[in-house]
């Protein structure tokens, strides 16, 4: 099954009925629509600003999140609207190709790599290199709580200004202080 088919099946299972009244007004009104594997991300103008909305299929289910005040767990009407927008027109989502870290050879590649990986995934790789999240945070001069806040905020589509710099710091630490060099 292709990534699009996997995502469509997961969305249809998670949102089986017609969209609710609040969701209907947002269907088809998303911008910056992208798909990376089995994850879609888009923005939509809501009542209190522009929201980033995401849906991902994996592990036999769906995870979704919205940056609106009630969308943390993905149970808002913006998530439902994105689901129905994707089901109605999956070709309107620009595909983003992820690249492995080894293939990064310049700044455009770096940007694409960082966009395709979460801080949570990078911290898991760092742990596999023998460096805990707490040790990393203290080593770069931040608190473990702040690092945790950056990580969880990204998963809810809220972005700290230092997210990119934090991801770069994780990459640098893995490169220079991982198990091989300890």
Lowest-pLDDT choice from 21-25, 30-34, 158-162, 172-176: 158-162
Helix (H) or strand (E) holding 39, with range, is strand 39-46
What is the reported pLDDT for 137?
Answer: 95
Residue 179 clears pLDDT 70, i.e. is over it:
no
The structure's pTM equals: 0.77
DSSP secondary structure string for all residues of 106-145: SHHHHHHHHHTS-HHHHHHHHHHTT--HHHHHHHTT--HH
- Over the stretch 100-139, which tens digit does the pLDDT of each residue have? 889 999 988 888 888 888 999 999 999 998 999 999 999 9
Give me the residues paired with residue 95 across strands. Answer: 35
Instruction: Give Cα 89 to chain centroid, integer Å.
Output: 21
CB-count burial class (<10 Å; 0-12, 13-18, 19+) for 162: middle
Strand order in the sheet with 61-66: 61-66, 49-58, 39-46, 31-36, 94-95
In the structure, what pLDDT confidence band is assigned to residue 6 with cuts at 50, 70 and 90? very high
Beta-strand pair 39-46/61-66? unpaired
For Cα atoms 158, 94, 26, give the angle at the middle one, nearest 5 degrees: 60
Residue 160 clears pLDDT 90, i.e. is over it:
no
Closest Cα partner for 41 from 27, 22, 56? 56
Residue 94 vs residue 156, higher pLDDT: 94
Closest Cα partner for 110 from 168, 161, 37? 168
Residue 28 — left, alpha, or beta (φ > 0 → left; ψ -120 to 50 → alpha)?
left
Number of H helices, E strands in the chain: 8, 5
Residue 11 clears pLDDT 50, i.e. is over it:
yes
In the structure, what pLDDT confidence band is assigned to residue 8 with cuts at 50, 70 and 90? very high
């Amino acid at each position: 099954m292709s990534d699009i088919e996997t995502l469509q099946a997961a969305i249809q299972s998670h949102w089986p009925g017609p969209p609710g009244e609040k969701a209907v007004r947002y269907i088809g009104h998303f911008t910056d629509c992208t798909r990376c594997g089995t994850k879609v991300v888009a923005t939509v103008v809501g009542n209190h600003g522009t929201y980033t909305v995401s849906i991902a299929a994996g592990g036999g289910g769906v995870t979704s999140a919205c940056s609106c005040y009630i969308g943390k767990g993905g149970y808002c009407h913006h998530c439902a609207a994105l689901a129905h927008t994707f089901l109605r027109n999956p070709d309107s989502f620009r595909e983003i190709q992820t690249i492995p870290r080894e293939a990064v050879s310049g700044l455009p590649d770096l940007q694409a790599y960082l966009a395709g990986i979460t801080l949570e995934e990078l911290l898991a790789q760092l742990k596999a290199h023998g460096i805990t999240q707490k040790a990393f945070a203290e080593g770069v001069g931040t608190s473990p709580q702040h690092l945790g806040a950056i990580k969880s905020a990204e998963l809810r589509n809220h972005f700290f200004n230092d997210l990119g710099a934090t991801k770069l710091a994780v990459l640098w630490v893995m490169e220079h202080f991982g198990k091989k060099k300890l």
